[in-house]
Chain A
Amino acid sequence: GDSVTQMEGPVTLSEEAFLTINCTYTATGYPSLFWYVQYPGEGLQLLLKATKADDKGSNKGFEATYRKETTSFHLEKGSVQVSDSAVYFCALKTNAGNNRKLIWGLGTSLAVNP
Chain B
Amino acid sequence: EAGVAQSPRYKIIEKRQSVAFWCNPISGHATLYWYQQILGQGPKLLIQFQNNGVVDDSQLPKDRFSAERLKGVDSTLKIQPAKLEDSAVYLCASSLTDRPRAYNEQFFGPGTRLTVL
> Which chain A residues have a beta carbon within 8 Å of chain B's beta carbons?
4, 32, 41-46, 49, 51, 89, 91, 95, 100-102, 104-107
Evaluate whether A43 and B98 lie within 8 angstroms (CB atoms) in the complex, with A51-B103, A106-B40 already known: no
Q: How many A-B pairs fall under 8 Å by CB? A: 44
> Nearest chain B CB to A47's CB is how many angstroms away?
11
Query: Do residues A100 and B109 form an inter-chain contact, with CB atoms below 8 A?
Result: no
- B interface, by DSSP: helix, strand, loop or mixed? loop
B88 on interface, CB distance cutoff 8 Å: no
**Interchain Cβ contacts under 8 Å between A and B, 24 examples:** A4-B42, A32-B103, A41-B110, A42-B110, A43-B108, A43-B110, A43-B111, A44-B93, A44-B108, A45-B108, A49-B103, A49-B105, A51-B103, A89-B42, A89-B43, A91-B42, A95-B100, A100-B100, A101-B45, A102-B45, A104-B42, A105-B42, A106-B40, A106-B41
> Nearest chain-A residue to B4 (Cβ)?
A43
Query: Do residues A107 and B56 form an inter-chain contact, with CB atoms below 8 A?
Result: no
* Cα distance A41–B111 in the bound complex, in angstroms: 9
Evaluate whether A46 and B105 lie within 8 angstroms (CB atoms) in the complex, with A100-B98, A101-B45, A102-B45 already known: yes
Evaluate whether A44 and B91 lie within 8 angstroms (CB atoms) in the complex, with A101-B48, A102-B106 already known: yes
Q: Quick one: which of B77-109 are within 8 Å of A by CB?
A: 91, 93, 98, 100-101, 103, 105-106, 108-109
Query: Do residues B42 and A106 form an inter-chain contact, with CB atoms below 8 A?
Result: yes
> Which chain B residues have a beta carbon within 8 Å of chain A's beta carbons?
3-4, 40-45, 48, 56, 91, 93, 98, 100-101, 103, 105-106, 108-111
